[in-house]
Structure 1
Amino acid sequence: MSGVWSGPDQVSGRAYIDALTAAGFDKSAMQVTADYSTIGNAAESIEFAVRLGDQCLVGQVGPSIGDPVTTVLPGLSSGGCLIGQTRTIDW
């Protein structure tokens, strides 16, 4: 996460998903929020997560956050990690 945060794609969900995939995490177990608001503005923050058994590694980054934040939380009973609208990881 720190490698992506220090590069040009600080608020690009795809960059974090690609970095997690390169680190060996299962892309099919991941979720990420949108890079842009519904009116086209850059997101003030994005969240990404990967399900690991019954837990989730969750990260949040963006200009409104300051330094990137990560934590491990219990997974949701629905099978995911993030509540609300997430984008399709189709790359």
Structure 2
Amino acid sequence: MRRTTSLPRRLSVAATTMLVGALTWAGCTGGPDVVPAPESSATASVAASATPTSAVPVLLADGSAEDNLPFFAQVMESVWAVDQSYQGRPYIDALVAAGFPKADMELTQDRTTVDNPADAIQFSVRWQGECLVGQVGPSTPTPTAVVLPEVPGGSCLIGQTRPIDW
């Protein structure tokens, strides 16, 4: 009888392999202009149990958007881990506290025009001609972070965004 591996198991193995590769790559980055990541108690316990050669992602002031994606994702996931927030302000506040410039951020609405919770919210940081974009929400099973090109006009998100005036 032939044994097959289910698709979810193969995806789980592939995801684990990619995560290990990303963590290994993140441990190789660094430089003189770095800002340490804010750590929650959950992050601190994970970092303490990691092998001595692994490093926590940091903000690379002179790095590209791709270089800073692991740090951006870590900040986003730290907010998600606390309360699985579907509101944008905690993400913006955490990114500002981590060293990303508030003036270069955009945020979509938390609620629809009929005052229902949005299915997903997006937030972004313009970084050296590219965009670090995060998405969370009830329709997004896990937080997602990507690097995308700026849209024409120099913004990162398409459509009406929310003022970041706090």
TM over 0.5: yes
Bigger RCO of structures 1 and 2 (CA < 8 A, at least 6 apart) = 1
Question: SS of 2:142's equivalent?
Answer: coil
Structure 1 stretch displaced more, 63-72 or 4-13:
4-13
TM-score (norm 2): 0.53
Q: As a proportion of its length, which structure holds more strand?
A: 1
State the distance in 2 between where 1:67 and 1:9 align.
9
**Residue 58 of structure 1 aligns to which amino acid in structure 2?**
V
Q: Give the structure 1 partner of residue 39 of structure 2.
A: none
TM-score (norm 1): 0.95
Give the root-mean-square deviation of aligned CA atoms. 0.9
1:67 aligns with 2:142: yes
State the distance in 1 between where 2:94 and 2:87 align.
11
The structure with the largest alpha-carbon Rg is 2
State the distance in 2 between where 1:76 and 1:63 align.
26
Question: SS of 1:17's equivalent?
Answer: helix
Aligned length: 91
Match of 2:92 among 2, 6, 17: 17
Runs of 4+ in 1 over 2 A off after TM superposition: none
Q: Give the structure 2 partner of residue 50 of structure 1.
A: 125
Structure 2 regions of 5+ residues with no counterpart? 1-75
**Deviation of 1:75 (Å):** 1.1
**Deviation of 1:9 (Å):** 5.7
**Residue 85 of structure 2 aligns to which amino acid in structure 1?**
Q
Q: Deviations over 1:29-60 (max 9, x none)?
A: 00000110011111110000000011000000
Q: Give the structure 1 partner of residue 81 of structure 2.
A: 6
1:90 aligns with 2:90: no
Q: As a proportion of its length, which structure holds more helix?
A: 2
**Residue 26 of structure 1 aligns to which amino acid in structure 2?**
P
Question: SS of 1:3's equivalent?
Answer: helix
Percent sequence identity over matched residues? 54
Q: Are 1:55 and 1:73, in contact at CA under 8 Å, matched by a contact in 2? A: yes
